[in-house]
Amino acid sequence: MKIRSALISISDKKEINNLLKVLSKYKIKLISSGGTFKKIKSLGYSCFEVSNYTNFPEILDGRVKTLHPKIHSGILFKRNKKSHKKILKKLNFEGIDLVITNFYPFQKTIDTTKVHEKIIENIDIGGPTLVRSAAKNYNDVVVITKISQYKKLINELNTYNGGTSLKFRLRMSREAFGETASYDAKIYNYFNSISNQSIPNKFIFEADLLEKLRYGENPHQTGAIYSNKESLKLTKLQGKDLSYNNYNDIFACLNLGKTLPKNKGTIIVKHANPSGVSMQTNHLRSYLSALNCDPISAFGGIVACNYKLNLQVAKEISKNYYEVIIANGFDKKVFKLFKTKKNLRLVDSSNFKLKNNQKILSGLNSLLMQSSDNFFFSKNNFKTVSKIKPSKKLMDQVIFSFNVCRSAKSNAIVITQDFKTLGIGSGQPSRIDSCKIAIEKMKKFNQFNYNEPLVAASDAFFPFIDGIEKLVQAGVTTIVQPYGSIRDKEIIKFADDMGIILIFSKTRHFNH
């Protein structure tokens, strides 16, 4: 079945010339309006104007053009149904076998203006209706909604001598409904945002495939990464494709790295948990401190530097096996160094910015949504409750400890000294076990100084004294934890009796 006539109504007129050439080759009658009509004529093709075709003027500044029964009957009638053909003949209506449309650029408009009137004017009514009519009737009609589909259409027309296959029409129909759904999702989400609906009654998430991943968390699971931004603002400069687990670890790294003071943090992550973190203006020391916290766990992990990676640090990094190195830029010499390690991924995160996004986690038949937990800590988030008060420098160390603790899976206990982690206990059902793990790691791998402050952070309050007691016995002299236990008073008294500093945070930071 050959295509006899096409309705073209496009907002973005790129690459239309090639397509018109092929439509003309197969003598397909063109119908169009407004800017598209002018464009087609200017390219030298003959074309019917919609208003002449329907015998109805284009009115309301273009708000009503194609919303006409002659157009929609021509699209929607079933070509194999006698009664449909009969009524079309009676009304002297013709079939429209091809619809080529892209919509008013709603997303682009909200990206470039805050003028609500202008945004509303960019809600396309006619376009989506044409597309939905054609997509519904894919059995007889082709619908083209993206410039990237032009080549495929040309290919079909050439293969089927001016016709198309049902398979192709079905695929175009499927993609068309993807376009109309995501177009309206964007409008809906815009309306939600101007109405401050952070938890709307209906949640619609639309995103484009960025990359099909080799597999999910495990080889028997499929995996993919989607985004409704054009890119993640992460640039892979070298190495194998990133895996699902790489991405998961990278997000854990950046969530922490981008909340540390700039240009001095090194983070090593394994299985979505930090295995070592350090913050030093000397980058070599920063990296080595992060590594030495738990060099065994670091093996096969990923390293994130919130500074530009130089050759000296890179040489040190290259002595260990990592899957990914993330940095805010790389010195040129670093690429030479890693040239032979072809599998190693180098990822530039300079342009990456942390946003307050919604956190989404699928449950069973459902989806848990929450606001993100990546605000920047300041001393106002904390209150010293012990008699002894921390110095300003110590308070900075407390904030560092607590920040690392927030990024570890709950229950989490983190012991630090001088802006480097000594022991990280994570992912335990019991808080006291996390204390034990942190203490054991501190003693096993690290050199530290009992005469300098040893700071421990807990992501939630201690329900009993036992955990704190263990930490103090191990040499910890400053503890930061959220308040909220019915034993808070008892715990403050214990801290004062022991002569340690106890600081309560205003916020809890479970992270599962």
Residues 19-58 binding a copy of itself (CB under 8 A) are 56-57
Pick between residue 302 and residue 500 the one whose CB is nearest to a copy of itself.
Answer: 302
Residue 105 interacts with a copy of itself (CB under 8 A): yes or no? no
* Residue number with CB closer to a copy of itself (266 or 386): 266
Which C-beta is closer to a copy of itself: that of 44 or that of 363?
363
Which range of residues in 42-50, 128-136, 283-291, 485-493 is near a copy of itself by CB under 8 A?
A: 128-136
Q: Residues 361, 393, 443, 490: which binds a copy of itself (CB under 8 A)? A: 361
Q: Which of 239, 241, 244, 240 is nearest to 218 (CA)?
A: 244
Instruction: Identify which of residues 28 and 213 has a Cβ nearer to a copy of itself in the complex.
Output: 213
Which residue among 372, 391, 449, 473 contacts a copy of itself (CB under 8 A)?
372
Task: Give the nearest distance from C-beta 496 to a copy of itself in angstroms.
Answer: 27
Question: Which SS3 state, helix, strand or coil, does residue 311 take?
Answer: helix
Cα separation, 10 vs 23, in Å, equals 16
Least Å distance, CB 141 to a copy of itself, is 12
Asked if 84 contacts 67 with a C-beta cutoff of 8 angstroms, the reply is: no
Closest residue by Cα to residue 385 from 505, 466, 273, 282: 505
The site that binds a copy of itself (CB under 8 A) totals a number of residues, namely: 137
The nearer residue to a copy of itself, 264 or 409, going by C-beta atoms, is 409
In a 13 Å sphere around the CA of 299, the CA atoms on its Cβ side amount to 3
Q: How far is CA 219 from the centre of its chain?
A: 23
CB burial class (10 A; 0-12, 13-18, 19+) of residue 13? middle
Range 276-295, binding a copy of itself (CB under 8 A): 294
DSSP alpha helix (H) spans, 43-165: 50-54, 69-76, 82-91, 106-112, 116-121, 126-136, 150-159
d(CA 426, CA 410): 6
The dihedrals phi and psi of 248, each to the nearest 5 degrees, come to -60, -45
Q: CB atoms < 10 A from the CB of 346, how many?
A: 20
Q: Which of the stretches 13-21, 211-219, 259-267, 415-423 binds a copy of itself when contact is defined by CB under 8 A?
A: 211-219
* CB contact at 8 A, 272 and 409: yes
Whether residue 411 is preceded by a cis peptide bond, meaning omega within 30 degrees of 0, is: yes
- Nearer CB in complex with a copy of itself: 103/400: 103
Q: Find the binding residues for a copy of itself in span 220-249 (CB under 8 A).
A: 220-227, 229, 232-233, 244-245, 247-248
Of 36, 101, 102, 255, the residue at the interface with a copy of itself (CB under 8 A) is: 255
CA dihedral 394→395→396→401, nearest 10 degrees, is 90
Q: Provide the token pair at 442.
A: 């501190």
Q: Which residues contact 258 (CB under 8 A, 6 or more apart)?
A: 306, 352, 353, 354, 374
Exposure string for 256-291, b = 16+ CB within 10 A, e = fewer = bbbbbeeebbbbbbbebbbbbbbbbeebebbbbbbb
Q: Which stretch binds a copy of itself (CB under 8 A): 42-50, 305-313, 361-369, 488-496?
A: 361-369
Both tokens of residue 51?
């208003």
Q: Which of 1, 115, 120, 388 binds a copy of itself (CB under 8 A)?
A: 120
Stretch that binds a copy of itself, among 304-312, 327-335, 422-430, 446-454 (CB under 8 A): 422-430
Q: Contact region for a copy of itself (CB under 8 A) — 22-30, 154-162, 214-222, 311-319?
A: 214-222
Residue tagged 């991405």 (tokens): 247
The yes or no reply on residue 363 touching a copy of itself (CB under 8 A) is yes
Least separation, in Å, of the C-beta of 207 and a copy of itself? 5
Task: Give the residue, chosen from 49, 94, 175, 396, that forms a contact with a copy of itself under the rule CB under 8 A.
Answer: 175
Is residue 322 within 8 A of residue 275, CB to CB? The reply is: no
- Which residue is associated with the tokens 């989506």? 128
| 177-206: contacts with a copy of itself (CB under 8 A) | 177-185, 187-188, 191-192, 195, 197-206
Rounded-to-integer distance, Cα 188 and Cα 195, Å: 10
Of 241, 238, 268, 236, nearest in space to 252 by CA: 268
Residue from the set 1, 115, 170, 388 that interacts with a copy of itself by CB under 8 A: 170
Measured from the CB of residue 79, what is the shortest distance to a copy of itself in angstroms?
Answer: 12
List the interface residues with a copy of itself, window 468-497 (CB under 8 A): none
Considering only 128, 162, 423, 453, the residue that binds a copy of itself (CB under 8 A) is 128
Q: Applying CB under 8 A, which of residues 1, 115, 166, 296 lies at the interface with a copy of itself?
A: 296
- From candidates 239, 301, 423, 467, binder to a copy of itself by CB under 8 A: 301
Does residue 383 bind a copy of itself (CB under 8 A)?
no
Q: Rule CB under 8 A: say whether 359 interacts with a copy of itself.
A: yes
Please name every residue paired with 347 in a beta bridge, in sequence order, or none if there are none. 236, 326
In angstroms, rounded to a whole number, what is the distance separating the alpha carbons of residues 342 and 339?
Answer: 6
Residues 338-357 that bind a copy of itself (CB under 8 A): 352, 354-355, 357
**Single residue of 33, 238, 275, 280 touching a copy of itself by CB under 8 A:** 275
Nearer to a copy of itself, 28 or 327 (CB): 327
Token digits of residue 502: 């106890």
Q: Does 371 interact with a copy of itself (rule: CB under 8 A)? A: yes
Least gap, CB of 264 to a copy of itself (angstroms)? 21
- Least spacing, CB of residue 506 vs a copy of itself, in Å: 8
* Rounded distance between C-alpha atoms, residue 200 and residue 216, angstroms: 30
Whether the CB-CB separation of 186 and 106 falls below 8 Å is answered with yes
In the chain, the amino acid numbered 216 is G
